[in-house]
Amino acid sequence: MDSGLYAAYTGLMARTQALDTTANNLSNVSTNGYRAQRDFFAHFMPLDSNTPAESQVGDAVNGFSVLGGNTLDLSQGQLVSTGNPLDVALRGTGFFAVKTPGGVRYTRNGSFELSNRGQLQTMAGYPVLDAALKPIVLPAGEITISRSGQISVQTGDGNGIAGQLGVFDFGNPAALQAEGADLVSAGAEAKRTASAAETIQGSIEQSNQDAIHGSMELVLEQRQAEMMQKALSVFNNDLDKTASEELSRV
């Protein structure tokens, strides 16, 4: 069978999956702290100990790559000043830790608030955690957050240290998995460490997905998908014609 059919098929699969990724990135252009997802490629048929050493189909298909999945783009997003003392942006690699119903998750979205009990939390109500992965509870007063993440509160009794933001980095960022718009999960294989990122009070980090570049990428992928669809139609028509000619000789 003509290997061009495999090329068209795997190409269409790759472009269709890439379209989904790009569309999701564009839908989160306005999401604070959003980490864009980027595609990586892999063999169509897995290569392992159970794969025959010589396989005509495997060799033909694996000559053309398909998307193996997505990885997070950890590049810095633009920092925007808000003047809100509970808005905190990170400059450098790293994530805040928050406690969700599913366990500890990580985020670059530093738009925080205080609960009625004085607990620092995300706008979704998830407690923000300190370096020991414990919730941060602050007394009433004027809040100051240093570049190292130390939280001080000015109360009627004076100024005192009230907590420390937990900011974490990962030795194996490829193991990070996006959850929703602004959360990231990390298993033990991600190798969590302390981060040296600066915490910038009164600012928010925007999405690291550029709207213009993402729109151009979407148009390009749509055109490529259309080209692959046309190529598949051509190969299918050729196969039908060949089959008809062969059957007429039987």
Q: Residue 101: what pLDDT? A: 96
Domain ranges of the chain: 3-75+209-249, 79-205
pTM: 0.74
Query: pLDDT tens, 81-90?
Result: 999 999 999 9
Query: Mean pLDDT, 10 residues at a time, over the chain (250 residues)?
Result: 58 70 87 87 53 46 56 93 97 97 96 97 97 96 96 92 96 91 91 96 94 76 71 63 50
Cβ atoms of residues 136 and 163 within 8 Å = yes
Query: pLDDT tens, 179-226?
Result: 988 999 998 899 999 999 999 999 999 999 888 877 777 777 777 667
- 158: phi > 0 → left, psi -120 to 50 → alpha, else beta; which? left
Cβ atoms of residues 162 and 151 within 8 Å = yes
Q: Which of 88, 82, 205 is nearest to 144 (CA)?
A: 88
Q: In whole angstroms, what is the distance from residue 133 CA to residue 104 CA?
A: 8
Q: In whole angstroms, what is the distance from residue 168 CA to residue 184 CA?
A: 12
Contacts of 21 (CB under 8 A, 6+ apart): 37, 38, 39, 70
- 51: phi > 0 → left, psi -120 to 50 → alpha, else beta; which? beta
Tokens standing for residue 66: 């398909």
Cβ atoms of residues 121 and 138 within 8 Å = no
